[in-house]
Structure 1
């Protein structure tokens, strides 16, 4: 299978003085390069995941790194045979990841970055505590062996769980997430709370898989595109999640076919077909249930989606050429 497309995952905490103007300019750049995906622009930085032809993604990475504010940005690149998204959204928000920790500035102070090669060497040490800062639905399908995981629905709930970490204040705390962006705030918050030996896995689970083979990452890594969950571990892979219906081992992440439920859980192939993509008999009989095609992934209706809608600067720039 030819893999002509790249899927990029990246972030960079860096001050942006006029984020709305930057958002429009960045949106135009993505349109010109035929990229699709989700990008968040904030006064605190840039966070995104996009897909496009390999050559177009190369141009995009070069353009972003040419901006001195993002010269050190770390792109994680995977490859596919098609786009991983159906739309392009470049949005301006208060934070590049919703954390309720807007006062923290990772570009000023954050946990020490630990490269994947170093992480691999120390992850099993007695004086190390691995802390998964992702949401419960993310780590339910995959996580590092022995990692401390919290029952949280959103990253903004992480600060409420720090009390559980105080027993480990004398150990080396190493946070990890999908690509690293949540760890910047999480580790900065731990430092603020008096923890001293705080580290973060640089580039997250994805970079560890790309560079070190993903050893001891159990299950799959949840991602925010139409792949849903991806393999990371090429050394000693396992399946840790269980079918929501029957309890057998399964890492098939499925959105319930009932749009009013839409719960995102592992459902094995047999149960998927038996319940027609629903998570229960109740959802199977719901009048609005979507047609199940065996994947459990439902592309949102585009409804005449126009990436230029509300994009005022596009016309101005075209006229000036």
Structure 2
């Protein structure tokens, strides 16, 4: 497969959004890349596709800006570019929660990597013997495509519904280790910061989300595929376009304005 697809985000304070938008758009056009980049005062969220040399050139150029030096991308491959055009959009939040007290650019949420989560799931508890509860922070149409089968799934219609769902169910998590997960890390990181803000302890995000988990842990304990926000619809545990996702077409229509790894 000749097309490299990347998704990446970074929570960092940005105050030059219109000018940054134009620079990013010009660079992507110069490299003939397609995809979507979201910019907000809290950071950047991107999905791009193109040949390896063009993607690598863009990422190297982006990292020359000290604000994006630590940006890490999740990779997968496809035969064709799964985007029709290149867009750079300005938004209020790169992942909408509408909780202004949550400022992810001020510091990262605690995280566990794929190998650690796999070990915890293999042994049935974390390294301190605490029960592990998985929390899926994605929308219902995404969980229909695939999920950790034992995870809490609130059947969300949008990420903004998560705080109310947690408020009505907070006792479930008392005394347990909670690992929130999402496609690429952005939603589960913001979710953990929110949970800490309302006083929940022992909460972590899955570092790099499901895509990194597939890459590093082979999708162990996962059931189904992983919905992605492009024309592939979903990827399987090998990070190749899914050949068996019967619900992806419907889900893609529902996700047309979400764009949130």
Match of 2:138 in 1: 134
Alpha-carbon RMSD across the aligned residues, in angstroms, is: 2.0
What secondary structure, in the 3-state scheme, does the structure 2 residue paired with 1:153 have? coil
User: Shift of the alpha carbon at 1:117?
Assistant: 1.1
Match in the other structure for 2:74: 76
Q: Distance in 1 between matches of 2:77 and 2:238?
A: 16
Aligned to 1:30: 28
Question: TM-score, normalization: structure 2?
Answer: 0.88
For 2:205, the equivalent position in structure 1 comes to: 200
Deviations 1:103-124 (A, max 9, x none): 3111324431211111111133
- 8 Å CA contact 2:215–2:238 kept in 1: the answer is no
Counterpart contact for 1:216–1:233, Cα < 8 Å:
no
Q: Secondary structure at the match of 2:162?
A: helix
Deviation at 1:140, TM superposition (A): 1.2
State the alpha-carbon separation in 2 of the partners of residues 220 and 146 from structure 1.
15
Q: Distance in 1 between matches of 2:159 and 2:148?
A: 18
Distance change >3 Å, CA 153–CA 180, structure 1 → 2: same
Alignment partner, residue 234 of structure 2: 229
1:28-81 C-alpha deviation (Å, 9 max, x unpaired): 111111110111011110001110111101111111222211111110011112
2:259 is aligned to none
Answer yes or no: is 1:19 the counterpart of 2:24: no
2:166 corresponds in structure 1 to 162
Distance 1:83 1:194 in 2: 43
Runs of 4+ in 1 over 3 A off after TM superposition: none
Checking the alignment, whether the CA contact within 8 Å between 1:229 and 1:253 is kept in structure 2 is no
1:42 to 37, 40, 52: 40
The equivalent of 1:144 in structure 2 is: 148
> How many pairs are equivalent?
244
Please point out which of 176, 180, 188 is paired with 2:193.
188
Residue segments in structure 2 that go unaligned for 5+ positions in a row:
257-261
List gaps (5 residues or longer) in structure 1.
235-249, 256-263, 266-295, 301-321
- SS for the counterpart of 1:178 is coil
Query: 1:84/1:184 Cα in 2 relative to 1: closer, same or farther (>3 Å)?
Result: same
User: CA 1:233–1:145 in structure 2 vs 1: closer, same or farther (change >3 Å)?
Assistant: farther
CA–CA distance in 2 between the matches of 1:183 and 1:254?
Answer: 22
CA 254–187 in structure 1, closer or farther in 2 if over 3 Å, else same: closer
8 Å contact kept, 1:109–1:188: no
Question: What is the CA-CA distance between 1:233 and the residue it aligns to?
Answer: 6.2
Structure 1 residues 254 and 173: CA distance shift in structure 2, 3 A: closer
Query: What is the aligned partner in structure 2 of residue 114 from structure 1?
Result: 112
Post-superposition shift, 1:127? 1.5
Per the TM alignment, residue 144 of structure 1 is displaced from its structure 2 partner at its CA by: 0.9
In structure 1, the partner of 2:246 is 252
Q: Secondary structure at the match of 1:170?
A: coil
Q: Shift of residue 138 of structure 1?
A: 0.4
